[in-house]
Amino acid sequence: MTPAAPDPRFRAALMAKRRGEIDEAQRILEEMLDADPEHADALEVLGMLVSERGDLDRAIALTKRLVELQPQSIMAHANLSRFYMLQGDKETAEDWQGKARVLGWKEEVGRKAAAAGGAGGLDAGVSPDLVEKQEKAVEAAPDDVMARMALASSYRRLGMPVKAVSHLQHALGLDESMSVLYLELGKSLEEANMPGDAADVYRKGIPVADARGDFMPRNQMATRLTQIEKKTAGS
């Protein structure tokens, strides 16, 4: 099937906006929506345009229409979050931000599944819904060490170690005697291509594990530290 040609009216609206001819851009977009109330591109751009002009109520109304047409649009959800935040409605803004985040997870998992040849992604056991629940658990109890660890584990399994690092660092700040936290943080730092930082964490974690008799994490940290030191010496 031959792709549809770009709408010349929409292109003209974009060009007018880029030239700073905001009134002209808005006029074209308004006419497009009068002719076709379900023109998704016009809804998105007009929503952003009127928000920049201070009409946040209309921006929200337009973008909600876009969400009805394209419920999987990450941009539409993110824009609604921004518009509500500009209105000072932080609670509603965070709600829309959360929805955008879930859609982002679904897209991320889909990409990883495709890269893995459709075999379910990096880890078929990690779903966007699970990650959303874990994020909400951390938001509800930010000082819950186990909740932070669970979320960090999901981030790592999705191939996002940098996100895992911040949660594990926070957890370690809450309980410096938990040797497995040093191990998991070190692994995440290695996966994030920060071997020097990982080595520092292992050096701190090994005596903690020794003192507690935690042989499994102690031995793993020692092995990983040796590997990092060998690579560093050989480079």
Domain parsing of the chain, residue ranges: 8-121, 125-235
Determine the pLDDT at residue 4. 44
Q: CB within 8 A of 29, min separation 6: which ones?
A: 10, 13, 42, 45, 46, 49
Determine the pLDDT at residue 115. 62
Q: CB within 8 A of 213, min separation 6: which ones?
A: none
Select the CATH number that applies to the domain covering 125-235 from these four: 3.40.630.30, 3.40.50.10470, 1.25.40.10, 3.40.1120.10.
Answer: 1.25.40.10
Q: How far apart are CA 53 and CA 224, in angstroms?
A: 55
Tallying the residues shown for the chain, one arrives at: 235
Q: List strand residue ranges (DSSP E) for the chain, in order.
A: none
Determine the pLDDT at residue 225. 96
CATH architecture of the domain with range 8-121: Alpha Horseshoe (1.25)
Blockwise average pLDDT, block size 10, the chain, 235 residues? 62 92 95 94 94 95 95 91 92 84 72 56 59 89 93 85 92 94 96 95 96 92 95 80
Determine the pLDDT at residue 1. 32
On the question of a common fold for 8-121 and 125-235, the answer reads yes
Cα dihedral value 177, 178, 182, 183, nearest 10: 140
